[in-house]
């Protein structure tokens, strides 16, 4: 069984968009995780939700993997983007759409959003 | 063990001495806060790097005693 770091690395390498969260997109168990998955769903981005509450090893492992102390965490094409706050800020500023476009990740820009 | 706002503020100030900080409680349980931090040290840094500076100042508290911190960071204009 590969160590937790390698497991996380393979998840982010094999999925364009990954949301490490508490709970699942359908049953989020934390307000910030819910907010992050809502944003991704609103702009119709396909993403893999990973429930970090399943094992403590994953819950702690993700924090050291990214050197980021909280969950949720968002990865685009293997690159760590940030947590719920940064995703919300990028969404509100429109920078998220630029980043998604640059990385070739399909999404549906809301009406009136500047890309 | 919840964390008082003043302690969060002093920790951030220790890590980022020139920081202007505004903290408000999101809930009255002592571990859900929103904070706005403005510092010259953020200039030229990405949002991710700015937030990491604040988390570094908070050390092990973040994710421990301090469960949730809704963070906004700016460099002064």
B12-32 tens-digit pLDDT? 999 999 999 999 998 877 778
User: In the predicted model, is pLDDT for residue A42 greater than 60?
Assistant: yes
pLDDT digits (tens, 9 = 90+) for B53-65: 999 999 988 877 7
d(CA B28, CA A19): 29
pLDDT of residue A115: 53
Long-range contacts of B10-13 (CB under 8 A, 24+ apart): B11/B57, B11/B58, B11/B59, B11/B61, B12/B37, B12/B54, B12/B57, B12/B58
Residues 56-75 of B with CB under 8 A from A: 58, 62-63, 68-72
Q: Give the pLDDT of residue A76.
A: 98
Residue B62: its pLDDT value, please? 84
Helix (H) or strand (E) holding B68: strand B68-74
ipTM: 0.79
Residue range A89-103: mean pLDDT, rounded: 95
Contact B48 A81 (CB under 8 A): yes
- Contact call for A68 and B55, based on CB within 8 A: yes
Cβ-defined contact of B63 to A63 (cutoff 8 Å): yes
Phi, psi of B34 (to 5 degrees): -120, 140
Amino acid A114: pLDDT = 58
What pTM did the predictor assign?
0.89
């Amino acid at each position: 069984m590969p160590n937790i770091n390698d497991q996380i690395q393979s998840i982010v390498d094999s999925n364009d968009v990954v949301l490490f969260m508490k709970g699942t997109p359908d049953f989020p168990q934390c307000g910030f995780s819910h907010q992050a998955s809502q944003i991704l769903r609103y702009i119709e981005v396909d993403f893999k939700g990973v429930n970090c509450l399943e094992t403590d090893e994953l819950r702690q492992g993700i924090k050291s993997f990214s050197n980021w102390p909280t969950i949720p965490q968002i990865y685009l094409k293997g690159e760590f983007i940030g947590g719920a706050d940064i995703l919300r800020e990028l969404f509100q500023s429109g920078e998220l759409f630029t980043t998604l476009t640059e990385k070739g990740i399909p999404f549906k820009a809301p009406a009136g959003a500047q890309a | 063990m919840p964390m008082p706002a003043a302690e969060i503020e002093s920790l951030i100030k220790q890590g980022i001495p020139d920081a202007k900080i505004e903290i408000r409680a999101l809930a009255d349980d002592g571990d859900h806060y929103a904070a706005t931090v403005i510092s010259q040290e953020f200039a030229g840094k990405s949002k991710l790097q700015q937030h990491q500076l604040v988390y570094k100042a908070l050390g092990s508290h973040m994710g421990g005693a301090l469960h949730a911190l809704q963070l906004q960071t700016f460099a002064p204009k």
